[in-house]
Each structure stands twice: as structure tokens, then as C-alpha cells.
Amino acid sequence: MKPIEFEGQTIVLSKPPSMTDEECGSLAILQLDGTCISCWKMSWRERLKAFFTGVMWIGVYSGKTQPPIYVAIDRPFNITKP
């Protein structure tokens, strides 16, 4: 999966200086009510595998603990257009 830019994003996070471009890239997020929301896109191969297995793994680089996270298929926020 690859992180993608999306309508509603408010900031782009850069990789930590200690990591290479191969290890980490930029991440577009929406900061909303103490939550950081990002959007990820699956390749066709990943879509097919998820369809048949129903399994997805999540890894978070955060040191010794796991911060609270969630995974959603539906957009977790509304976009209001003027």
C-alpha cells in the first residue's frame, strides 16, 4: 500500500532525518480533533489478496508501545464545500 494525498488533508509529514527514502516517505494527513488521518491506496495485487484472505496487517513505528490507531474503509470525516 502507498500513502496518497487526498481532499481535506491539512499537512504533509516528512520522514525522520534518521531514516532513508527507501525506509520512509512523506505522509499527507488531516489533523482533526486530536486525530491524524491518512489515506492509503492498494495495488491491484493487494486488493485481490485482501478480497480472498480478508486479512490486513498494520505496523506503526513508535518505539516500545503501540499508540491508539484504527483502520477504516469509509472516509472518517465529512468534506463540506462552500
Q: Taking Cα atoms as reference points, which of 29, 13, 23 lies closest to residue 69?
A: 29
Q: Give the Cα-Cα-Cα angle 61, 65, 71 (nearest 5 degrees).
A: 60
- Indicate whether 49 belongs to any domain: yes
pLDDT of 52 reads 97
- Indicate whether 19 belongs to any domain: yes
- Indicate whether 79 belongs to any domain: no
Structural domain tally of the chain? 1
- Indicate whether 61 belongs to any domain: no
Confidence class of residue 80 from pLDDT cuts 50, 70 and 90? confident
Model pLDDT for residues 6-64, shown as the tens digit of each residue: 999 999 999 888 889 888 889 999 998 888 999 999 999 999 999 999 999 888 877 77
pLDDT of 59 reads 84
Strands (E), 1-62: 2-4, 11-13, 27-32, 35-37, 39-41
- Indicate whether 35 belongs to any domain: yes
Q: What is the dihedral of CA 5, 7, 11, 12, to 10 degrees?
A: 0
**Full domain range(s) for residue 7:** 2-53
- Indicate whether 82 belongs to any domain: no
Does 82 score more than 70 pLDDT?
Answer: no
- Indicate whether 34 belongs to any domain: yes
- Indicate whether 68 belongs to any domain: no
pLDDT of 44 reads 97
